[in-house]
Amino acid sequence: MATPKVIAVMGVTGVGKSSFIKLVTGDDNIQVGDSLESETAEVNTYKFRHKDRTIILVDTPGFDDTHRKDADVLKQLAAWFDDTYKSGTKLSGIIYLHRITDDRMRGSSLRSMRMFRQLCGESFYKNLLLGTTCWSLIPEDVGAGREKELMTDENFWKGLIGKGAQFVRMPDDGWEAKELVYDLARLEPVSLQIQKEMADSNLKFGALSATQTLQEDMTNLQTEHDEQKRQLDVEHQRQLEEQNQREQRLQMEMEREKQKALLAARLNAEHEAMTESTAKFTEGVREGKFFAKLFPLAIAFSSTCDGCCKWVGNDQYYGSYSDLKTVQKLTLRVVCTKCNDGKFVLCGKCYNGALTCFDESHHNSMQMMVANDGPPQCRHITYPPSPESMLACYRCASQLAGIFVHKL
């Protein structure tokens, strides 16, 4: 009996290796996955006969698996190829499958292809069958464009096809699939490069060409991941800084709005108080209860004449309406004589920010304390025509802030 021909089926996880073997052999015991998780954890062989030949198809675990590292898959394949080679068995061919539904060969597929080239060696390329699967899942024109890219790009299959590898669309018909396998089985068996390195050169797994290619790709991949992580960290930090700036601007805007609201409330309160005070003052003047009172106190303390720059507000004031020549010096705490004898006529004890002294019992006891004028030849205030009028500087006639005192 003729020696069976051995053909391996390879490709990344989920490419349809088990489905193809089931189509060819008709073995219903073959598990076919419907996801990217491999159903083939070990190397399995399936024997069938077509025409005059007995053929063994080898179902191999795929690279880019969800639960296994590519290095572990390669080590398992290397051990199986080494054992078969030492037992005198060579492969008649390898069928390498690729999903045409992939937009382009992904990074994992490219890494697998680079490793696959080193595993086979150029002398094995003529025994390769490169097949695309899943044609029924995409439009014909889209698949044709991707097929052309695979055939013409050096990073994909151009180099393999140029050195003897075949390129086909994998059929859905069982007989056509068997014919493809049969044509491979008619080729002369050839040793793989990985078999020569392990058995003939006695190289360890880490020194194999395929292993070194895988390690190089993993190093490059790690470098890419590190750079991507660095860029993500930079972008994340930039976004954090922008967020902090937005929050700070928002906080500042909120604080400005708060201060504006407080200022508006204060101004409104002052306006209401002044409106009320003005009304009381007008009523007091009309009823003859008093001539005037300091208004407002803070302005009186700091009033100066713009012309001669003399301090007026906190130094001298006119007294009674009938004796406007007299002036009165303002003490730090102004009280009436009833509250503190000998002090100025303003009542600090009962002063409440309004324009009048509301304690009428104090009115009769209030007396004017007369002070001398300022330096010789300098009269700081002039007679106002009425208590409601603004004071003015005697020398330059510039108006001063309004100052009012209790009626005596």
For the segment 257-305, what is each residue's pLDDT rounded down to a tens digit?
999 999 999 889 888 877 776 676 566 556 655 444 433 433 333 343 4
| Cα separation, 294 vs 270, whole angstroms | 17
What phi and psi values does residue 116 have, to the nearest 5 degrees? -65, -40
Q: Where are any strands of DSSP class E within 124-250? A: 128-133, 166-169
- In single-letter form, the type of residue at position 322 comes to S
On whether both 203 and 134 belong to a single domain, the answer is yes
| Cα separation, 280 vs 278, whole angstroms | 5
Does some domain include residue 216? no
On whether both 48 and 195 belong to a single domain, the answer is yes
Does some domain include residue 219? no
**pLDDT tens-digit readout, 68-81:** 788 888 889 889 99
Q: Collapse the DSSP code of 105 into the 3-class scheme (helix H, G, I; strand E, B; otherwise coil) and give the result.
A: coil
What phi and psi values does residue 184 have, to the nearest 5 degrees? -65, -40
- 3-state SS string for 56-99: EEEECCCECCCCCCHHHHHHHHHHHHHHHHHCCCCEEEEEEEEE
Does some domain include residue 217? no
Burial status of residue 4 (CB atoms within 10 A of its CB: 0-12, 13-18, 19 or more): middle
How many domains, the chain?
Answer: 3
Facing residues of 399 across strands? 392
Q: How many CB atoms lie within 10 A of CB 325?
A: 11
pLDDT computed for residue 293 by the predictor: 40
On whether both 312 and 246 belong to a single domain, the answer is no
Count H helices and E strands in the chain, helices first: 9, 8
pLDDT computed for residue 210 by the predictor: 81
Q: What dihedral angle (degrees, nearest 10) is formed by the CA atoms of 137, 141, 143, 148?
A: 170
On whether both 193 and 316 belong to a single domain, the answer is no
On whether both 151 and 75 belong to a single domain, the answer is yes
On whether both 138 and 44 belong to a single domain, the answer is yes
Burial status of residue 368 (CB atoms within 10 A of its CB: 0-12, 13-18, 19 or more): middle
On whether both 29 and 166 belong to a single domain, the answer is yes
On whether both 35 and 66 belong to a single domain, the answer is yes
Domain of 235 in residue numbering reads as 224-284
Does some domain include residue 215? no
pLDDT beneath 50: ranges in the chain: 33-40, 290-358, 366-389, 391-408
On whether both 141 and 245 belong to a single domain, the answer is no
On whether both 24 and 138 belong to a single domain, the answer is yes
| Cα separation, 391 vs 380, whole angstroms | 10
Does some domain include residue 407? yes
On whether both 75 and 148 belong to a single domain, the answer is yes
| Cα separation, 202 vs 169, whole angstroms | 38
pLDDT computed for residue 405 by the predictor: 40
On whether both 40 and 143 belong to a single domain, the answer is yes
| Cα separation, 374 vs 353, whole angstroms | 29
Does some domain include residue 212? no
Task: Tell whether the torsion through CA atoms of 82, 83, 89 and 91 is positive or negative.
Answer: negative
